[in-house]
Amino acid sequence: MNALQIILNILLIIASLVMIVTVLLQSSDSDGMGAISGSTETFFGKAKNAALEAKLALATKISAAVFVVLALIMIFVG
């Protein structure tokens, strides 16, 4: 293994970990049992949550794109 392959492997692992973490931090779209019991959020709480969800979705898309590009580069390098 040369130095380029090692660097690409490390970057690939970092991109995959970032993608896993961002996907796990995103909340589901369904309210579940909270809607039945009346524990829904206020408007302002939803606005803050929407901004965080948008940032997590963007981070997921970016890390997925980086992952795919690095995987394709690994094919040609290896």
pLDDT digits over 9-31, tens only?
A: 999 999 999 999 999 999 876 65
CA 71, distance to chain mean position in Å, is 17
Q: Rounded distance, CA 57 to CA 17, Å?
A: 15
pLDDT digits over 57-72, tens only?
A: 999 999 999 999 999 9
The per-residue pLDDT for 50 is 83
Dihedral, CA of residue 17, residue 51, residue 53 and residue 70, to nearest 10: -40
Per the model's pLDDT, the better-predicted residue between 34 and 75 turns out to be: 75
Dihedral, CA of residue 68, residue 15, residue 54 and residue 48, to nearest 10: 170
